[in-house]
Structure 1
Amino acid sequence: MPSVVHTVPAALFSLLLLLMSGCAPPPLGNPRLPYPGGQPPEVGEIRHLATGVSVSQGEMLAVVGDARIVYVGETHDNPASHRLELAVLQEMSRRHPGNIALGMEMFTPSQQGVLDDWTAGRLDEKTFLKRVRWFEAWGMDFDYYRELLDFVRREKIPLLGLNAEKSLVSAVKEKGLAGLSEEERQLLPEMDLDDPYQRAQTTAIFAGHDQGGRHLERFLQIQTLWDETMAANVAAYLGSPAGSGKRLVVVAGGNHVRYGFGIPRRAFRRLPTSYTLVGTREILIPEGKEESLMDVETPDFPMRPYDFILYCAYESLEKTEVKLGVLLGTDAGRVTVEGVVPESNAEAAGLQKRDFLLAIDGEAIGDTFDLIYAVKQKRPGDRGTLRIEREGKEESVEVLFREPRPMGSHGQPKK
């Protein structure tokens, strides 16, 4: 009987030699994008990163709706991010009626009573924004969030404040964790400061900036405080009687969600449960939006940024804001003009330094918020009537809200 000779393929033989020599072969592919696809992504395309498969929004929502927690990482000033958040919340509400809640980075637990009043329909928009101190505490244009929060109120979906209290963040910024008082330490969540990916991201943000090691460590502490606090509040709610059986959509900035080492991993440490990550990536940057991008070289993390990613343009709000053009202060509880911006609507209307601002369009100005909110409702071409007091005498001033002049380099108006 003839002998049979088994030959070993060259590639397999090389692999065996590597194994016998104790050397492992290089990794195959990219763990972040194992199936990168043959074509660059297009605006509006949604990809499931684990498989490289492009899906419709409906197909994505059908999958993410199965998770108990859906984390949506946003670009704060991109309307495309906010449309994605609304779509996710609407689908979760449809799939799990009466058993869904929304947690937001933009609010804190101390504001929970106001959030409950909003959900119950007991507050109008102006009162809500005033009570949560929106412009001081968050600062982003409310137009980005209006549709999401209107849906919450309409459907009476529980709204949760997740973020760390501003006073505690300020204390850590000023003194660091080591300098906190015992009372302040009692307010801290369980803190894991040793996550290598969190540190790598924080280091990348500081790269090229002469901030010094102390500033880097301080910012790492603050970033960890934000993430650990939000994670603790996520786990606490879902583990409570109020959250029993509920599913949660979490809306936060991309750096708190992307790659999973921010809020998601820290929440899972406290409450192991199913979750998915959804987010956006801007691939079309219109002229004028480049300066809004963070100039950060992201470390080569070994995990996917999201489970599903929407490739989008870096959009702007479809409106033109107007400004009054004054510096505001208070004197004896009244709002006063501390300065008038040259070539502004205020200057054109004749406002002067030390004028007291009493009312706008018949609505009393009790504090700076009242004026800011009223002006934000104006559009180019609108008019407003200011009731002022000047040198002890009351008078009315008519303001024409003109469109802002285009800005040139260094923030100077173009001639």
Structure 2
Amino acid sequence: SHTDMEFHRVQLRVLEELAKRGRTVLVGLEMYPAGEQAVLDRWIGDAALTEPDFLKESRWYHNWGYHWEYYRAIFRFARENGARMYGLNVPRAVVQTARKQGLEALTSEQRALLPERIDTDSAEHRTLFKAFFSADDMHGQLPPAMFDGMFVAQCTWDGAMAHNAIKALKAAPGQRPIMVVLIGSGHVAFGLGAERQAKLWYHGRIASLIPIPVYDTEEETPIERARASYADFFWGVPAATDPLFPVLGLSAPEREPGAPMSVIQVEKESVAEAAGFAVGDVLVSMDGTAIDQKETFNRIMSEKRWGDSARFEVRRGEETKTLTAHFRRRFEAPPAPCATPPAEPAKPAEVP
């Protein structure tokens, strides 16, 4: 949903309609940790802060790998209407520690960033979380211990965002404040993510809204029903096509600062697969710029458009290889042409 522009248009429309009805609208952001709050406040209150400076100072492409243009209209609306924006996340080290060592391994400083209780015992949530990865070649075959760690990390993430959203809501001035939390549907579906964590210690009203496509492109049929428990409200949107901006189609998570970025997954039928990337490749440079961190990679990718290309240097074992990625949209194979009728045998010309 992060790369579906229709989803973000729905998010913007919700903010607009709530503001029209006189609500004091607050916007909770999945992509920013609470530690970036100062620059978010400047975005709303300092007209001299330009967009490029905001992206740089808030470390947009460090905190979030998705293109700014997907969210630009939402941020412009908040700025023009004085709707305060809040970072809801926690530093990555907190979630990474929870994933690798468990919640009990968090330091007292890290634990203070989270709600008093985080529930990791929901069988329903565990089943749903596993289903998200069932068709994923990499995550679908995870060892149980690794899956357990990822599930704890997800619950920690959900709990942190719920905690920070409600803390901001309770402290908000203004008339009838309402917190609109913009997060991926995986944190919302069936009320098992952030909402479930919030209800452990918050007894106010919570409602969820998820945009859903109105057409199944695989079955080529309209979608006329949705499971009522999926969300409190549905908003129909056109079926997703290619993302508005190109994606490479590989996973290369950032490790410790300065550590090389190694490819851990190459998506099937992706730009990366066509370019010849392989699991284990170390990303050295892109278009001549050294890839020293994930932020550098995300920033260069943000400058690409469909139809562009990129030249990568990768280290594969002891070799350095040059790979060229051509960013081309996927397309369906055209239908077979109509059969050409067999030619009739030529008739001999009549001689007058």
Aligned length: 271
Structure 2: which amino acid aligns with 1:115?
A: L
- Among 147, 152, 158, the alignment partner of 1:216 is 147
- How far did 1:238 drift? 1.9
- Among 105, 122, 128, the alignment partner of 2:30 is 105
Residues of 1 paired with 2:128 and 2:247: CA distance? 37
- How far did 1:318 drift? 4.6
**Residue 201 (structure 1) aligned with residue 132 (structure 2):** no
Aligned to 1:256: 187
Aligned residues of 2:113 and 2:160 also touching (Cα < 8 A): no
- Among 94, 117, 126, the alignment partner of 2:42 is 117
Residues of 1 paired with 2:306 and 2:130: CA distance? 43
- How far did 1:267 drift? 2.3
Residues of 2 paired with 1:355 and 1:315: CA distance? 28
- Among 10, 16, 19, the alignment partner of 1:90 is 16
| CA radius of gyration, larger in | 1
- How far did 1:377 drift? 5.1
Q: 1:124 to 1:378 in 2, by over 3 A?
A: farther
- Among 83, 88, 91, the alignment partner of 1:157 is 83
* 1:228-267 equivalences in 2 (<5 Å): 228-242=159-173, 245-267=176-198
Residues of 1 paired with 2:55 and 2:7: CA distance? 21
Aligned residues of 1:322 and 1:403 also touching (Cα < 8 A): no
- Among 42, 55, 61, the alignment partner of 1:135 is 61
Aligned to 1:274: 205
Aligned to 1:191: 118
- How far did 1:170 drift? 1.9
Q: Which runs of 5+ in 2 are unaligned?
A: 219-226, 249-271, 276-284, 309-324, 332-352
Residues of 1 paired with 2:175 and 2:157: CA distance? 24
* 1:258-337 equivalences in 2 (<5 Å): 258-284=189-215, 304-312=229-237, 313-318=239-244
Residues of 1 paired with 2:330 and 2:63: CA distance? 27
- How far did 1:108 drift? 1.3
Per-residue CA distance 1:286-330 (angstroms, 9 max, x = gap) = 69xxxxxxxxxxxxxx961112212331144556x599xxxxxxx
Structure 1: which amino acid aligns with 2:126?
A: R
CA RMSD of aligned residues (A): 4.0
Structure 1: which amino acid aligns with 2:130?
A: T
Structure 1: which amino acid aligns with 2:39?
A: V
Structure 1: which amino acid aligns with 2:83?
A: I
Q: TM-score, normalised by structure 1?
A: 0.55
Aligned residues of 2:4 and 2:244 also touching (Cα < 8 A): no
Q: Which runs of 5+ in 1 are unaligned?
A: 1-74, 288-301, 324-340, 345-352, 358-366, 383-401, 409-415
Residues of 2 paired with 1:130 and 1:226: CA distance? 24
Aligned to 2:99: 173
- How far did 1:380 drift? 7.6
Per-residue CA distance 1:233-288 (angstroms, 9 max, x = gap) = 1221222254774111111110111211212233243332223221122354669x
Q: TM-score, normalised by structure 2?
A: 0.64
Residues of 1 paired with 2:22 and 2:190: CA distance? 27
Q: 1:165 to 1:96 in 2, by over 3 A?
A: farther
| RCO comparison, higher one (Cα < 8 Å, 6+) | 1
Q: 1:373 to 1:188 in 2, by over 3 A?
A: closer
Residues of 1 paired with 2:287 and 2:181: CA distance? 45
Indicate the SS of the match to 1:270. coil
Greater CA drift, 185-194 or 129-138: 185-194
Q: 1:228 to 1:374 in 2, by over 3 A?
A: closer
Q: 1:406 to 1:185 in 2, by over 3 A?
A: closer
Structure 2: which amino acid aligns with 1:205?
A: F
Q: 1:315 to 1:154 in 2, by over 3 A?
A: farther
- Give the percent of matched residue pairs that are identical in Structure 1 and Structure 2: 29
Indicate the SS of the match to 1:309. strand
Indicate the SS of the match to 1:281. strand
Indicate the SS of the match to 1:226. helix
- How far did 1:187 drift? 3.6
